[in-house]
Amino acid sequence: MQLGNLIKNRWVRKFIGYIIGAAIMIAVTYKAGFPPLFILVFNMYAFACFIFYIIIDLPPIKMLMGLRAFIYFAILIALSAGFYTGVAAILPQFDPEVEMGEFRKPPVKLSALSGPEAIKAGEGVFKMQKCSNCHKFKDMGTSMRGPNFDLWQIGLSDEEFLKKSIVDPRAEVPKGFEDEKSKTAMPTYFGEEISEDELGALIAYLKTGWSKEAMPVTGKEDAGPMVRWDEDPDMIALGKKVFEGNLYSGLNCGGCHGRDGVPLMEGARDLRNPDSVSKRPGREGKKLKDWTDADWFDSVSKGLPETAMMPWLEQYPPRAIWLAIVYAKGFSKGKK
């Protein structure tokens, strides 16, 4: 047969049409990013439609009667049922067990996790529970409604405090959130929603949120200025406790630097003197009055080698360091 005649044949034309259609569909679904399995399933449907189209176009068969008609009918049913079941058996099926498994994902087992893994799991809990709808943290989410955890440095809070704040948010009202709306904004169901292990992971994650660079602040973002810890009378009072050795056992700045700033220990720095210079490597000679928040943290957290001024951060939490600084800064305040 000539090529021209071949193309004129209506069966051949239909087949070519089908091939072109299938090719277009593969191209479009591939471009749209469908998984290969979907593309295959789509094509199988298209092929089934093509067969159907061919069948309805076939010349009609003779009218059948009696037993013959019955046998033909039974064969047709058996064939199509067999085809349908066969194809269904080959294709991957929706398995309710697998889907339910997703819901019943093994709960976070903190006991089986450590350090970075617990933190990672905690990040998952934070996202899952949509905390970021109200709390900005690690530059994620918004803090239109709740405290901004980056600025507040939520990681400086004690674990017990964090736990209580999450499980029983009405117990205490943080600064700047005293209005009726804010006071009642945080949901009270987290105690039931979050398992004990998930809560542990969540807290491990929150605990990573603190900075060596900037003095923590409190208050509501966009609702007036935030208050630095060293300008907040409550935090200064708390800092006094730390400085005088009444909050963290064994940490007593006043024991050497003096409760009133008059050094008790020979050689201890006089924190009242704004012109006293740092001996920290890299910042030698920088006058105390010019220290940034980060400079203060550097001095107090790392101390001075071979002196009684210890690297306090090795033994005490960053919260203790910032609180001690809040009070220590007061001795030279206003002195030029």
Contact 332, 271 (CB under 8 A): yes
Q: Tell me how far apart the alpha carbons of residues 189 and 106 are, in angstroms, rounded to a whole number.
A: 21
Min dist CB 41 to ligand HEC, Å, is 40
Min dist CB 225 to ligand HEC, Å, is 18
| Cβ closest to ligand HEC, residue 40 vs residue 140 | 140
Three-class SS state of 218: strand
| Cβ closest to ligand HEC, residue 29 vs residue 198 | 198
The partner residues of 218 in beta bridges, in order of sequence, read 227
Q: Which two tokens stand for residue 294?
A: 């980060």
Min dist CB 102 to ligand HEC, Å, is 21
Min dist CB 215 to ligand HEC, Å, is 14
| Cβ closest to ligand HEC, residue 113 vs residue 251 | 251
Contact 187, 101 (CB under 8 A): no
| Cβ closest to ligand HEC, residue 29 vs residue 204 | 204
Q: Tell me how far apart the alpha carbons of residues 187 and 328 are, in angstroms, rounded to a whole number.
A: 38
Q: Tell me how far apart the alpha carbons of residues 144 and 128 are, in angstroms, rounded to a whole number.
A: 19
Alpha carbons within 13 A on the beta-carbon side of 152 = 21
**Rg, the chain, Cα only:** 36
Q: Tell me how far apart the alpha carbons of residues 153 and 214 are, in angstroms, rounded to a whole number.
A: 9
Min dist CB 238 to ligand HEC, Å, is 13
- Angle, helices 318-328 vs 293-302, to 10°: value is 120
CA-nearest of 225, 204, 201 to 151 is 225
- Give the footprint of ligand HEC on this chain (CB under 6 A): 129-131, 133-135, 145-147, 152, 157, 162, 165-166, 169, 173-174, 177, 182-183, 185-187, 190, 202, 251-253, 255-257, 265, 267-269, 278-280, 299-300, 304, 307-309, 312, 324-325, 328
| Cβ closest to ligand HEC, residue 147 vs residue 317 | 147
| Cβ closest to ligand HEC, residue 33 vs residue 267 | 267
CA-nearest of 325, 288, 331 to 279 is 288
Min dist CB 96 to ligand HEC, Å, is 30
Min dist CB 211 to ligand HEC, Å, is 15
| Cβ closest to ligand HEC, residue 113 vs residue 156 | 156
